[in-house]
Structures are given as structure tokens and as C-alpha cells.
Amino acid sequence: MASKLPDHVVWTPLPGSQMLFLSCPIFEALLEGTRGGGKTDALLMSFAQHCGKGFGEHWRGALFRLTYPQLADVVAKSKRWFYRIFPGIQFNESNYVWKWPTGEMLFFRYGSSEEDYWNYHGHEYPWLGFEELTNWRTLGFYEAMHSTCRSSCPNMPRMVRATCNPYGVGHAAVKARFKLGIEGAPPGTVIRESDQQPRVRIHSRLEENRHLLQNDPNYLPTLESIKDPNRRKAWLEGSWEIHAGAFLESVWQPQKHIVAPFPIPSTWKVWKALDWGYARPYAVYWFALDQDGCYYIWRELYGYGGKDNTGTREDAAAVAKRIKTIEEHDARLGYDYRQNLADPSIFSKIGADRSIGQIFKESGIRWQEAWNGPRSRVNGAQEIIRLLSEDKLKVFSTCKHWIRTIPALPADHMNPEDVDSDAEDHAWDATRYGLMRRRRMPEEERASAHLDHPDYQHENDCYSFNV
């Protein structure tokens, strides 16, 4: 196919992010930033720059998008350049694969979930590319595909490359993995974690793409005229400090709701709440209420297993020991935890000799049943919204997983009055248990609440607290 570009046009990387991306020696690299920075071209050339270098058929790559129709744009851009740069190259329209005269191959593929990995299990791609990484709700497929980034050929480069803008359903997952945003790592910082390959992110700006700005002078004004403030900040500024489409989008203001830690006065009421998890994270939060009716979430214990929505698989006795260690000096400071509220499901003994609640009790931590009756999820959500909108809920900046997960939670597509319970909502559940502590249990629920259960710690003020 003949290119429509003038004969004198030859692709060269733009100074700045494109050059950094193409020369990056780190195994995993993300090129993120504003719209119009030339990220797709850079992703294609990341693979193409190693063609004709003597690797031949051993240099194989797979470039992924979330769905098959989304591949059309990146295929069109590849045709724009590859036919000009590589004489004799061929593109198979039915199989969506480029083949170089020297044997190299680049496949265009798609996958939406972690289960789709099995379509590629056993494959060998020393180069992996992912276009618009924030289109994936979770990074399960992306991370699973890393196992295919290998080669039996010695001295073969191996790399995972991805691009994206802020915004999209996977905004929070990408932000967390690459430590983006104000409190994250600066661009170019190599992130090294145990048992993982190093990774880095490179920031791209529209101003770098002088060709686009010269050839399409209306592009910048188009971005500036976007009415949605979150989308404008994401696409024009490349800002990761947004939570577009999140359940709390209209009320969450991190500059107002996140506060620096300070000593909690002993005169304030204090308590804690638990959402239990084993394969999924458990979440324990300590609450405080000041004399003006402002709630503070001031301490966090979160069973984070190293990736989104994955737990540490600790048993209840081990978690109880952690809690006791954290609270070791609290009595000396004057803190009196009369309440320990937890999901009522931990008191069930179905199929077991002891309930999770009983294990906690034997380990020195007593829990009471949190209110979790009909519409409790919706009512709890409204209470969180009310407190945030009235500036009556503050979170210590040390509660990292609360800040990571709750502002980004999407609404349930079946029930827009609640968050998506398939998302990482464990901090959310513990929060609503803790904040609904003053709600009196309806009589019809009290009658069926098994208040005579041996694991149930009855107190007169269990469901109605005067403050």
C-alpha cells in the first residue's frame, strides 16, 4: 500500500518523551500524559527500531488493545509509516500481523480479562505493547501477559511497553502501579519492588508534538474547550489527580478531606471497624469523633497482598495479633475502645467449629455486629456522601489504601446508589460500618439478629449511641 505522505517525510522521534521512551533500558515502561503527544507512534517504533538488527524471526511482538475494533486506529497508524520505512514489508489483513523481509513479526491482538491470557499461554514475545492501558478496568490481563515476555535467543532485548492518558475505567489501577499523581514518584523514577521487574513511567506533553500543533492549529483550542473539568484536566494537562466517573466524584476533595496526622485527644470518642478478608484484603480502620461532630479516620491496617484486590491470606488470629500490637499503648493514652464493629458474616459458624469472630475473641479482640440489614449499603453510602459534602469527614494521609481505593470506586452499574461491590471496596465497607454506628437497628432486624449468639458481644449502646 502506498503512503499518502510526501516522499521527504521520514519518521524521527521528537525530543523529549519519545526519545526517552525509545531509548529506555528498563524492562517495563509506560508513556503517559496529555492527548496528542505522539504516544502511539512511539509505541510502534519501540518495536520497529529493533527490526533488521539481526534477530530475524526471533524478534516477535504483540501489541494489545482492549477490544478488536479498537485495533483499527493503531493498524492505520502503523500502515502510515511501516510501508515507507521498510520496503518489502507485508501486512496480513486477515490475521492482523506485520512480517518484515528479515523475518520479524508484530501481531495486533486484544484481550479484556485475566482469563484471556490463556489464549496466549506458552507464547513467546520478547516485546509486548499495550495501547491505552487505562481502558482495562484491572491490570490482571496486563500483568499475566508479562510471563510471555521471554525469548530463547541469547542477548535478545525483552521489554513491556504501554501508553495511556489519565481518565478511563483503569485510571486508578494504572495510577497505583506506576505511582502517579502528586504523592507518587516523579517521572523517570525507576520503581523497584521485590520479586518484580523494574518499571518506570515517562511523561508526554502535547507541546512536544510540534508537527501536530503546526498542522492542526485547532487541536489545542479543541482540548481547551472541553466542558467536563475532569476530562479537560486529564487530556489537556495530563493530570492524574482526577476521579472521573467515580461514585464520590461530586463530593471528594482531597485537598480538603485528607489531613496530616496529629495526636488524637483522649477526650474524643474512638472506635474501630473491620471488613474481613483472606484471599481479598481485610480492612481495619480506627475512627475518632471530635466535639464539633467531625469524624476522623486516623489509623489503617489493610491486608494488601501486593496487587489490586488481593489479600495477604492471614488467618484471624494473626490479624488479631497485629491489632493488639498496634493498640499496645492506646490505653495509656486514654483511648477507650468500647466499640469494635465488624461485618456480621464473621459470626457465622456454618461448616466450621468456630466462627472467625470467635477466633478473634479468643485472641483478645472482641467484635460486635455492624448494622448490615436491608438498604444498609445504600444508607451507608449516603452517610459517607453527606459527611464529605458537609466537610465532616477527614482522613489521615497515612491511610494510604483508603485514599488509593475509595475515591476511585465506581458506581454499581445495576444500582447507581451504591458502589461496585466487585471493585476493591473493603476500605469502603469498613468505613460505612464505622460511620453507621449511631443508627438504631430496626426492631424487625433486631428480632432476627441472633443477639443470643455466643460470639455476639452485647452492650447497651451497641446500636444507638448518644454523642
CA–CA dist 462, 371 (Å, integer): 10
- Output the DSSP codes for 380-418: HHHHHHHHHHTT-EEEETT-HHHHHHGGGPBBPSS-TTS
Dist CA 374 CA 131 (whole Å): 43
Q: Among 3.40.1350.10, 3.40.1390.30, 3.30.750.24, 3.30.420.280, name the CATH number for the domain at 254-447.
A: 3.30.420.280
How far is residue 253's CA from residue 304's CA, in Å, rounded to a whole number? Answer: 25
Instruction: Look at residue 191 in the predicted model and tell me its pLDDT.
Output: 96
**Pairing state of beta strands 283-289 and 295-302?**
antiparallel
Tell me the CATH architecture of domain 17-237.
3-Layer(aba) Sandwich (3.40)
CB-neighbour burial class of residue 214 (10 A; exposed 0-12, middle 13-18, buried 19+):
exposed
- Angstrom distance (rounded) from CA 37 to CA 272: 47
* pLDDT tens series, the chain, 467 aa: 333 444 545 789 999 999 999 999 999 999 999 999 999 999 999 999 999 999 999 999 999 999 999 999 999 999 999 999 999 999 999 999 999 999 999 999 999 999 999 999 999 999 999 999 999 988 999 999 999 999 988 889 999 999 999 988 888 889 989 999 877 889 999 999 988 999 999 999 999 998 888 889 998 999 889 887 778 888 898 888 876 668 898 899 889 999 999 999 999 999 999 999 999 999 999 999 999 999 999 999 999 998 888 999 999 999 999 999 999 999 999 999 988 999 999 999 887 889 999 999 999 999 999 987 767 899 999 999 999 999 999 999 999 999 999 998 888 878 889 998 888 999 999 999 999 875 444 444 444 444 444 444 433 333 333 33
Q: What's the pTM?
A: 0.66
The residue length of the chain stands at 467
Q: How far apart are CA 224 and CA 351, in angstroms?
A: 60
For residue 413, count other CB atoms closer than 10 A to its CB. 8
Question: Hey, which bits of 172-316 come out as E strands?
Answer: 199-204, 258-259, 269-275, 283-289, 295-302
Residue 450: what pLDDT?
Answer: 44
pLDDT at 9: 55
C-alpha–C-alpha distance, residues 176 and 163, integer Å: 15
Residue ranges of domains in the chain: 17-237, 254-447
- C-alpha cell of residue 49: 527500531
In sign, the C-alpha dihedral spanning 222, 226, 231, 236 is positive
What pLDDT, on the 0 to 100 scale, is given for residue 49?
Answer: 96
The residue with cell 514518584 is 185
CA distance 348 to 344: 8
Cα(131)–Cα(174) distance, rounded to whole angstroms? 13
DSSP-derived secondary structure letter, 11: -
Q: Burial code of 453-462, b = ≥16 C-beta within 10 A, e = fewer? A: bebbeeeeeb
Give buried/exposed letters for 395-411 (b at 16+ CB in 10 A, else e): bbeebebbbbbbbbbbb
**Single-letter residue type at 215:** N
pLDDT value at position 413? Answer: 78
Closest C-alpha to 34, from 224, 196, 195: 224
Separation CA 103–CA 430 (nearest Å): 56
SS3 48: helix
User: Distance between CA 203 and CA 16 in Å, rounded?
Assistant: 9
- H/E segment holding residue 109: strand 105-110
